[in-house]
Structure 1
Amino acid sequence: MRILITLFIILCFACKEQKESSNKELVETASNKVHQSEFQTIIDSANVNGAILIYDLKKDIYYSNDFNWYNKGNLPASTFKIVNTIIGLETGVIESDSTIFKWDGKKKWSKNWEQDLVLKNAFQFSCVPCYQEVAKKIGAQRMNEYVQKFNYGNLKIDTTTIDKFWLEGESRISQIQQIDFLKRFYNLELPISERTHKIMKNIMLINETALYKLSGKTGLSNENDAYNGWFVGYIEQKNNTYLFATNLEPTKEFDFNLFIKKRLDLTLEAFKKMNILQ
């Protein structure tokens, strides 16, 4: 009888500890997500819908106006050029940062694409035809292998979609998945060479001042006349790095050129509201 009582007491203590441990994990998980109402004000004033997600690398804290939106999957669009470039470099399809993409002389969607482009310009001008050729040369099998190795979103890649799976179809990635990938890239945790990492950091650099470096990639998809826009990347300062993934959709009052610009402008405005940028 004494043995049964002892076992009962031990079991009760074990259950209590397990419950306390579980509650602690929930508190810790909730504590690294901070709701930023200022981000929602920025978004509302710009007549768009969506969320801005900023991650403090040092403090391991996420800031957003909408922690439901940040789990919402969308086409990666041209943000996939980050991964496409990495795989191109790792497989040798892109030989180096000096690789030239030759213009075929035909009219393109963007005037910036109607010229020979070195890798950094092809990336920053978001040259779709250039990267479609890269994807086709990589091939569906290798592309799938690398995407799975990088644990990048939920992409649907086969031989029929190899040159468009990031622009249309069922491929999806969320803001939190974008941040997770960028964090592993930034922390040198991806299974890629140091050379590839160095080239990528160079071509992703958008702006450098005395106070910070801004690196990243925009993306835009249009399915059934429904636009979705991305801006993902990171801001490096002397003492910290902040990763970000902004995802926006236009309201009915829609100006295409303004929407394109807002992806970057609203992200930088959010950093100013947090006193990270001046």
Structure 2
Amino acid sequence: MKICFFLIIAFAFFSCSESKDTPPAQKEGTRTENKLIEPAIKSIIDSSGVAGSILIYDPQKEVYYSNDFAWAEIGRLPASTFKITNSIIALESGAVENDSTVFKWDGKKRRFKIWEQDLIFRDAFRFSCVPCYQDVARRIGPKRMNEYLAKLRYGNMDVDSSNIDVFWLEGNSRISQFQQIHFLKRFYNSQLPISERTEKTVKRMMVMDNNEDYILSGKTGWSIRGGHNNGWFVGFVEKGNQVFYFATNIEPAEQFDMKRFPKTRKEITYRALKKMDITGLAGK
């Protein structure tokens, strides 16, 4: 009888200990601090043939929404999303005069036909002209680039004279989705140590969709190293007196049709924003 009583007490003790020390698994649709796992976003990612995360921040509610917060914490090459910051530094440093500054084509074959022409600065941004922005980075130089990156507190960039025109495309430079949104928040709210002129110019350059319902501003990015593809789409949506921030980062799953990859970054983000009732974005 004493043995049975002891076993019952012991079982109760260990059961209580286990429930106290083992946190419950996070469920979909449940909040952890200011982060909310959103099943609709997970469904979009899962049905698109990619792996990754869509991170959306609603500053009105001070809540982050995503399908995968762990993915959103990992630093990755910024790729062409760095054109936002590169543009800011170019204008602030005087390396580029304004958004109408012309970048001459040298006549050499480029990756995309649309790059094989003279481009003004805002069109170089719009067409994501890598050679144009490599020229911009060389004009700025590693010393000034590092000084401005420190002032702007943009990710963790690794810049020196040997990689000044490729550091955002290859190497050890890293930024996470959370860091992308933190930077965009400070930029949008005029909290960066830059001139009003630069801020207005870059915001104007970033506009992708502008209609009576919303304004969407952003930049895509795509890095390819050693056969490894990683895609970005970051930005913000203005709707009335509200603003929402987003940062999408994805990688193609096996057998993915890479011809679809450029559009997929945007399409899944548009779908997520629509599902979250932020806008009636149709996707492109």
TM-score (norm 1): 0.88
Q: In structure 1, what is the Cα distance between the partners aligned to 2:226 and 2:159?
A: 21
Structure 2 distance, partners of 1:115, 1:157, is: 29
Distance (Å, rounded) in 1 between the aligned partners of 2:273 and 2:118:
35
Counterpart residue number, 1:78: 80
Matches within 5 A, 1:115-264: 115-264=117-266
Q: Distance in 2 between matches of 1:153 and 1:175?
A: 10
1:32, distance to aligned residue in structure 2 (A): 1.2
Aligned match of 1:108 = 110
- Separation (CA, whole Å) in 1 of partners of 2:273 and 2:165: 35
**CA apart distance, 1:239:** 2.7
Residues 5-43 of structure 1 deviation map (CA, whole Å, 9 limit, x = unaligned): xxxxxxxxxxxxxxxxxxxxxxxx933111111111101
Give the C-alpha shift of residue 124 in structure 1: 1.1
Q: Deviations over 1:90-139 (max 9, x none)?
A: 01111011111111111100111011111111001000000001101101
Equivalenced residues, count = 250
Q: Tell me the amino acid that sits aligned with residue 261 of structure 1.
A: K
What is the SS of the residue equivalent to 1:215?
strand
1:57 Cα deviation after fit: 2.1
User: Alpha-carbon deviation of 1:254?
Assistant: 2.1
For the residues of structure 1 that align with 2:209 and 2:239, how far apart are their CA atoms?
12
Counterparts of 1:112 and 1:224 in 2: how far apart (Å)? 25
Ranges in structure 2 where 5+ consecutive residues have no aligned partner? 1-30
Separation of aligned partners in 1, 2:261 and 2:213: 27
Alpha-carbon RMSD across the aligned residues, in angstroms, is 1.0
Aligned to 1:89, which of 88, 91, 95?
Answer: 91
Identity %: 57
Q: Secondary structure at the match of 2:106?
A: coil
> What secondary structure sits across from 2:84 in the alignment?
helix
